[in-house]
Amino acid sequence: MHAEDRHQAILRKVRRHGSVRVTEVAAELRVSPVTVRKDVEVLAERGLVVRVHGGARLPEDWAPSTADGAGAVPRHGARELTFGLVVPSATYYYPEVIRAVREAATACGARLLLRISEYDVDGERAQARAMVEAGVDGLLLAPTTGTATHADSAWYEELGIPLVLVERRPRPVGPPVEHVVTDHAYGARLAVHHLVTHGRRRIALLARGGTPTAPLLEEGFRTGLHLAGLEVPEDVGHVDLGMDRPGTPEYDGAMERFLDAVAAGRIDAAVVHPDGDALVLLQRLSARSLTVPGDLSIVSYDDEVAGLGDLPLSAVAPSKHEVGVSAVELLAARVAEPDRPRRQVSILPELRVRASSGGT
């Protein structure tokens, strides 16, 4: 059982009964009491439980459910909490985040309302404001214009309710906004380091620009090369696929220039974002009789479908479940304690090594 699964199990038990004993939880989860004590320490640091001798209990401002044991409720009122969640997509990247948010909201006795913005800026603003008018107690938001470079990215700052950004960083100026993000720059550095340790020296970044993730990947990519004493390959070191689809002249032209560089030996490895484009690259390399990882070593980024190619792709995997759970924890804590210090959480992704990078 993973640590986060244990944390959720402990929280459910605490919120159902008001307190737990370490020895009972250890026996139920089939782990050692030492492991459970460490889990309780983590949960206590997050403000979700209070450590007591031999176990843990609910914080003073929460009471266990007295109805069906589904979860805890705030002591200051019997009304069920309602959280809103607005994300840009329900088909790529965010499904796992949504599931984690739903599970974590249920665990803390909150109802979840979900809206999908489909990257429509005006639509997501209207959806968020409609949720506020409907009386949600707090909002989890992944705004389309959620990067610090957009002048109009502050619209959510005026909503007037507890707010946590999900996989988005707030503006560097203005009111402090709590957020939970994946450290994508670290993820790109991790990918570069892996490729370097397997003998690759001419490493490129093949990614779609115009997304909140793109500048962070480029930052980490360039830092990773610098730390390894390497230069970005000239002309094709960073290929931007834009927002076009395979089959369009712009997309195919960029991809062909990249393939030409591989065939000429000017590139021997690539970090590719997102997974779908990594799979397209894999297919087009095969069509030109270029081998992976022989001619080109690949690390994909996101790990949504990277393992499903004819050759499974190594990939950097953001911990989407941890992002969703941590966002709910921040929001619940803010609702329960409005004056607590603000927190901004950065979660490290992990590298899953498969056949495409020569690491298996």
Give the tokens for residue 13.
Answer: 């038990």
| Cβ-proximal residues to 134 (8 Å cutoff; 6+ apart), any chain | 113
| Cβ-proximal residues to 248 (8 Å cutoff; 6+ apart), any chain | none
Q: What is the pLDDT of residue 191?
A: 97
- Residue 123's identity, in one-letter code, is G
Q: How many CB atoms lie within 10 A of CB 150?
A: 15
φ, ψ for residue 30, nearest 5 deg: 60, 45
The model carries a pTM of 0.77
Place of tokens 């779609």: 208
Mean pLDDT in runs of 10 for the chain (360 residues)? Answer: 78 80 91 91 81 83 47 51 92 92 88 91 90 92 62 71 92 82 96 96 91 91 96 85 83 92 95 94 95 96 92 96 94 88 93 85
Q: How many CB atoms lie within 10 A of CB 148?
A: 13
